[in-house]
Structure 1
Amino acid sequence: MSKPIVAIVGRPNVGKSTLFNALAGEMISIVKDTPGVTRDRIYADVNWLNMQFTLIDTGGIEPESKDVILSQMREQAEIAIETADVIVFLTDVRQGLIDSDAKVADMLRRSNKPVVLVVNKVDSFEKLMPDVYEFYNLGIGEPVPISAASRLGIGDMLDEITKHFKPEQLQEEEDDRPRIAIVGKPNVGKSSIVNKLLGENRVIVSDIAGTTRDAVDTEVKYHGREYIFIDTAGLRRKSKIKEELERYSIIRTVSAVERADVVVIVIDAVEGITEQDAKIAGIAHERGKGIVIAVNKWDAIEKNDKTIYQFTNKVREVLAYMPYAEIIFVSALTGQRLNKLYEVIDVVIENRSMRIATGVLNEILTEAVALQQPPSDKGKRLKLYYMTQVSVKPPTFVIFVNDKELMHFSYTRYIENKIREAFGFRGTSLKFITRERKEKDQ
């Protein structure tokens, strides 16, 4: 199921980040920061009345001069139009209606995407409503008054946003063909790999960063099995500001990862693994996707018998939080080992859907507890009663214990390792949920 994507667009200082944090803070359980996942969050999962969506903040760039502001807003709007299912256009009741608001509203109107016009900083609905009505003049529908800082009107706004979700976005997809996203920094050879895998030049490739055109998903048949490759469309804008480019490429990556079953992270062998690679990997890990790391341009490396071993160690070190990721060394240029990629993807898909019988799980649990005593605190020891698998994609397990507080992260990791020793689960993360049961419930 691919969650709808909602993007916030608006001028500097209208409160985009305040709104983002209001939604991200209270209603969302943000996963504790995984190493390599940026602190400066630009996306978060929101759950409203059992509807889930991914929220993207396109802000964060606050340029000096007036004309730059408009061009920046245009750029934000373009990204939102391209990646979002619903666009939240945020304005500020105190600053009133400004020329650049009208210009961006024109773009949004032409996009044919649903737009929710939100007027922020309305701290008193009684006093400020006449000023809110002024925003009707933008011609993109009824303005929704909110105060992100005082959290007023947020529920009404979320109702408006979720109204625009299509029923199929909220249901499980019927299409069970595996979806593969090939992601990575600009210029690591993503498009070349996709071309080779497709066996024809569907994607335009050239050496300039940011030349891939709009995203088009491609169906491929290989050995009688069908796959869908999600094109993560490299950046079209040749922007001067490098960080900004990275920020936007991350937005694109998030929307591709969101829709994928398996994420192939392409790393440049010549450059080695970088912090940006770790960020991208962190997004896929956090989202519980299948993960394959493809080290491209392997043909360009001088090798001896230890090279692969050393490179693998380096990758494992940087991505220490995902030891399960599969690593494969390829060359898009020579086609070396690219067909092997399909095999690795198949293994990962199978592992993401693997179910383990409860009886077998509890045998592993009993043995694990016997080998390594659970932690205790102030004389109270953790007891693990029972474990069962509740879902797949990624495989998710519930462990019933006497006291949740005693279930340290490290002990969960230990149980995970025991399960992996028995079943592998290569290429997929595993999710563990701890539930408490009182002694007398036994």
Structure 2
Amino acid sequence: MVALVGRPNVGKSSLFNRLIGQRLALVDERPGTTRDRLHGEVIWNGFAFTLVDTGGLEVLPPKVEAGLRPAQPLAEDSAAFIPQIRAQAEIAIAEADVLVMVVDVQAGLTAADEAVAEVLRRTQKPVLVAANKADNPELREAAVEFYRLGLGEVYPISALHGTGIGELLDAIVAALPGLAEAEEEEGIRIAIVGRPNVGKSSLLNAILGEERVIVSPIPGTTRDAIDTPIEWEGKKIILIDTAGIRRRGQIRPGIERYSVLRALRAIQRSDVVLLVLDAQEGVTHQDAVIGGMVVDEARSVILVVNKWDLMLDERGRPRVKPEEFIQHIRGTLKFLDYAPVHFVSAKTGYGVPALLPLALQVYRERHVRLSTSELNRLVREALEAQPPPTRKGKPLKIYYVTQARTDPPTIVFFVNDADLVHFSYERYLENRIRARYPFTGTPLRLVFRGHERESS
């Protein structure tokens, strides 16, 4: 059992809903909305545990400790229930094996947080600090303030946007007694994802050359994320077949919901995602939703158009030209314009042999590192070709550029003021970089750090 605890209005219920995958807990901006304990089941990486949402702990005396911010008071209609809310939270703390203390990065460290931390220290139980509402890089960096609580590792998360949730769940599972975190087999991880009945399992079987997984025209046949390790041209590859991801309103409670959660986890732990589209149906809204999930997790991606054999006439000629279909895809999935499009037929084998080589190429692009000198030269050329527009009467100045990491490639721009970077100019810089270094199928992160130099 894992309990979410913390002072009122830090986002415990939002995090609870995010972790269990449904809106079970009522969420409201007014402190004190949650009064009773709520239970939900979470499955992560093959482990299941019960998650408990609790009301806000009010344990502070009226005065506020020096140097710390006061907490927001409870709403009047909940203030009368403070003893009962606290009693419910204390029961959850007593029953839990792991405690997750939720704090609010935007509000900063408060005296109420210190008081809650003191209560949790006395339990002698594993405590993880979830620094919620870290909705941007600056707020994630601000989460370091909560190390002052002395409870150990701090996990910056956003329950609203879902960022950092995977790392938090990994830590929870590792802290659960009697459970060891599952060791994943090493290799290049390629996840096959998409809507139900687009041919994901058929594609896996076609790649393997054998009937490894059950294939059926009935949507939802695959329930688990199935790992299949193979060796291809001396490289270890793990192919992950996943359950079809339906629209949120169509996901039934129970096994299907957990199957979708496993599919989302497969995206998170993959290096390359094969997003399978149905050639007959074209690109749908749900395809775009799944593509958005892949982008949110910063995975590399290939758009695989399956069932291309059904688009051929009696003479074997395509009824729709591939370039026209690609144009349709680009018009619908504009945010994946860097993803290669590959046509296959899992039934006939058309295009299948070239799929793994393409996936490995995309994997290599994900790990490309550009030299600092080359990056700065490239950006100087971009600035000369199109200087940045002036915003608020102030010009944007780019002092220095470097690649901070790969997997995914992250390029940091040191500028005078990050607020001066307009989205359109950021897009222009990305296009200039990709014109020389395509980073095929791979998201490119541009980070702008403001630092106004002192005038000499």
TM-score with structure 1 setting the length: 0.68
User: 2:233 maps to which residue?
Assistant: 223
> Does structure 2 conserve the Cα–Cα contact (< 8 Å) formed by 1:56 and 1:251?
no
1:380 aligns with 2:394: yes
Select the structure with the greater relative contact order (CA < 8 A; seq sep ≥ 6). 1
Does the aligned pair in 1 maintain the 2:277–2:303 contact within 8 Å?
yes
1:212–1:174 distance in 2 versus 1, CA, 3 Å: closer
Distance in 2 between residues matched to 1:353 and 1:134, nearest whole Å: 48
How far is the alpha carbon of 1:407 from its aligned partner? 0.8
Secondary structure class of the residue paired with 1:191: helix
The one of 189, 197, 209 equivalent to 1:199 is: 209
1:355 maps onto 2:369 in alignment:
yes
Structure 1 residue aligned with 2:326, among 300, 306, 312? Answer: 312
Cα displacement string for residues 92-128 of structure 1 (whole angstroms, at most 9, x for unaligned residues): 689xxxxxxxxxxxxxxxxxxxxxxxxxx99876555
SS at match of 1:311: helix
Aligned partner (choices 5, 12, 16) of residue 19 of structure 1:
12
Q: Displacement, 1:223?
A: 2.2
Q: Distance in 1 between matches of 2:427 and 2:356?
A: 29
Query: Counterpart amino acid of 2:197?
Result: N
The letter of the residue matching 1:439 is R
Instruction: Indicate which of 241, 246, 250 corresponds to 1:242.
Output: 250
Q: 1:8, 1:58 within 8 Å by CA — same for their partners in 2?
A: no
Instruction: Name the residue aligned to 1:414.
Output: 428
2:21 to 57, 68, 80: 57
Mapped to 1, the partners of 2:98 and 2:20 lie a distance apart of 22
Find out whether 1:166 has 2:174 as its counterpart: yes
* Count of equivalent residues: 358
Structure 1 letter corresponding to 2:23: G
Counterpart for residue 214 of structure 1: 224
Partner residue of 2:299? 289
Match of 2:200 among 190, 210, 214: 190
* Deviation of 1:88 (Å): 4.7
Contact 2:192 2:276 in 1 (8 A): yes
Are the aligned partners of 2:2 and 2:97 in contact in 1 as well (CA < 8 Å)? no
Match of 1:395 among 409, 412, 431: 409
What code does the residue aligned with 1:166 have? A
Residues 145 and 129 of structure 1: CA distance in aligned 2, closer, same or farther (over 3 Å): farther
Q: Whole-Å Cα distance in 1 between the matches of residues 304 and 391 of structure 2?
A: 43
Residues 91-102 of structure 1 mapped to structure 2, 5 A cutoff: none
Q: Distance in 2 between matches of 1:421 and 1:399?
A: 18
2:379 aligned counterpart, secondary structure: helix
- Contact between 1:261 and 1:289, CA under 8 Å: does it hold in 2? yes
Whole-Å separation in 1 of the counterparts to 2:454 and 2:195:
54
- Once the two structures are TM-superposed, the CA of residue 19 in structure 1 deviates from its matched residue by 2.6
SS in structure 2 opposite 1:321? Answer: helix
Residues 34-53 of structure 1 deviation map (CA, whole Å, 9 limit, x = unaligned): xxxxxxxx75xxxxxxxxxx
Partner of 1:440: 454
Identity over aligned residues, as a percent? 36
Does the 8 Å CA contact 2:196/2:243 hold for their aligned counterparts? Answer: no
The residue correspondences of 1:109-148 to structure 2 (distance < 5 A) are 126=83, 128-131=85-88
Which of 257, 260, 276 in structure 1 is aligned with 2:270?
A: 260
The amino acid across from 1:357 in the alignment is S
**SS of alignment partner, residue 196 of structure 2:** coil
Decide whether aligned partners of structure 1 residues 92 and 349 sit closer, same or farther in structure 2, where only a CA change above 3 A counts: closer
Q: RMSD across aligned C-alpha pairs, in angstroms?
A: 4.3
Deviation of 1:423 (Å) = 1.0
Aligned position for 2:52: 90
- In 2, the alpha carbon distance for the partners of 1:179 and 1:349 equals 9
Choose which of 191, 194, 201 in structure 2 pairs with 1:181.
191
Q: CA deviation at 1:136?
A: 9.0
Greater displacement, 249-258 / 312-321: 249-258
- 1:298 paired with 2:308, answer yes
**Contact 1:195-1:202 within 8 A present in 2 as well:** yes
Alignment partners' CA distance in 1, 2:3 and 2:20: 6
Amino acid at match of 1:437: H
Moved more, 364-373 or 313-322: 313-322
* TM-aligned CA distance change 1:130 to 1:59, over 3 Å: closer
Structure 2 length normalisation: TM-score?
Answer: 0.66
Q: Whole-Å Cα distance in 2 between the matches of residues 319 and 16 of structure 1?
A: 37
